[in-house]
């Protein structure tokens, strides 16, 4: 599986995905993450990708053209293509990559959605910024908008990383011996490790007795209760 990320800040994506479990997964060729500088797809000499919004309002909007060109370039590099009457025709039988635009107004990112992405060999993620991306890019590319929460972030790089992380860890072999998918085991929000008694400022904090009992059914029941408790 291959993730292609179009962004104004490739270094942000690369720093995270080249480290820890994701970095190991890439070295073992379980998946790959490739970044593309959005400014490389503009025609002006300043590398400018944004303009003021029609209809007024604060901030700037990323133009549709560099986004569309970036996706076309990535798709062509993957599948090969030819021009017919100024229309790009991809190699027969090739399934186009899934295109995602990070957006606060998109469908929520869930584990189920992340797992569904594994059906695609290639996923292109467009990182929004400023006041967003010209809506015509979504229409032309038939892209899907995805949100990681009902809040506003400075840019789409953090959501893109969340999408990649949530999906990549679902790929068989990416998680190592000491890691496993939470949904495949009984896990709680409260976890403990050594020492058994933690002393801070003269006060002792102990590991719950049930976790020291060795009684697996009771431990699983405790974890399930903790996991399902209201926030």
Q: What is the pLDDT of residues 67-101, one digit of tens each?
A: 999 999 999 998 775 555 555 555 544 568 999 99
Query: Is residue 60 in a domain?
Result: yes
pLDDT over 90 percentage in the chain: 74
Mean pLDDT, range 193-204, rounded to an integer: 96
Tokens encoding 210: 């049930």
Where in the sequence is the domain holding 157, given as residue range(s)? 2-168
Query: Is residue 181 in a domain?
Result: no
Based on the fold, state whether residues 153 and 217 are members of the same structural domain: no
Query: Is residue 108 in a domain?
Result: yes
Confidence of residue 231 (pLDDT cuts 50, 70, 90): very low
Based on the fold, state whether residues 136 and 218 are members of the same structural domain: no
Based on the fold, state whether residues 80 and 192 are members of the same structural domain: no
Would you say the C-alpha torsion 145, 30, 115, 94 has a positive or negative sign? positive
Q: What is the dihedral of CA 220, 170, 150, 61, to 10 degrees?
A: 170
CB atoms within 10 A of CB 59: 11
Q: Among candidates 70, 42, 53, which has minimal Cα distance to 130?
A: 53
Based on the fold, state whether residues 26 and 98 are members of the same structural domain: yes
CA distance 63 to 134: 5
Mean pLDDT of the chain: 90
How many structural domains compose the chain?
A: 2
Based on the fold, state whether residues 76 and 157 are members of the same structural domain: yes
My answer on whether omega of the bond before 195 falls inside 30° of 0, hence cis, is yes
Query: Is residue 100 in a domain?
Result: yes
Query: Is residue 140 in a domain?
Result: yes
User: pLDDT for 110-146, tens place per residue?
Assistant: 999 999 999 999 999 999 998 899 999 999 999 999 9
Query: Is residue 179 in a domain?
Result: no
Contact assessment for residue 147 and residue 202, using Cβ atoms and an 8 Å cutoff: no
Q: Which residue has the higher pLDDT, 220 or 17?
A: 17
CA distance 24 to 15: 13
């Amino acid at each position: 599986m291959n993730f292609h990320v179009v962004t104004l800040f490739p270094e942000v994506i690369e720093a995270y995905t080249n480290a820890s479990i994701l970095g190991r997964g890439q070295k073992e060729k379980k998946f790959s993450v490739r970044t593309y500088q959005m400014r490389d797809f503009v025609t002006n000499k300043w590398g400018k990708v944004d303009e003021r919004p029609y209809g007024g309002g604060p901030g700037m909007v990323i133009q549709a053209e560099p986004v569309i060109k970036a996706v076309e370039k990535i798709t062509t590099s993957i599948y090969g293509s030819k021009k017919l009457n100024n229309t790009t025709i991809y190699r027969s039988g090739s399934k186009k990559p899934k295109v995602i635009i990070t957006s606060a107004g998109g469908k929520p990112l869930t584990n189920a959605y992340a797992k569904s992405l594994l059906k695609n060999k290639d996923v292109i993620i467009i990182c929004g910024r400023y006041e967003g991306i010209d809506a015509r890019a979504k229409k032309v590319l038939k892209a899907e908008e995805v949100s990681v929460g009902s809040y506003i972030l400075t840019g789409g790089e953090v959501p893109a990383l969340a999408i990649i992380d949530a999906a990549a860890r679902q790929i068989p072999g990416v998680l190592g011996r000491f890691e496993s998918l939470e949904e495949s085991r009984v896990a709680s929000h409260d976890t403990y490790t050594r020492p058994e008694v933690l002393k801070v400022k003269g006060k002792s904090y102990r590991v719950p007795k049930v976790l020291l009992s060795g009684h697996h059914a009771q431990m699983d029941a405790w974890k399930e209760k903790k996991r399902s408790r209201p926030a």
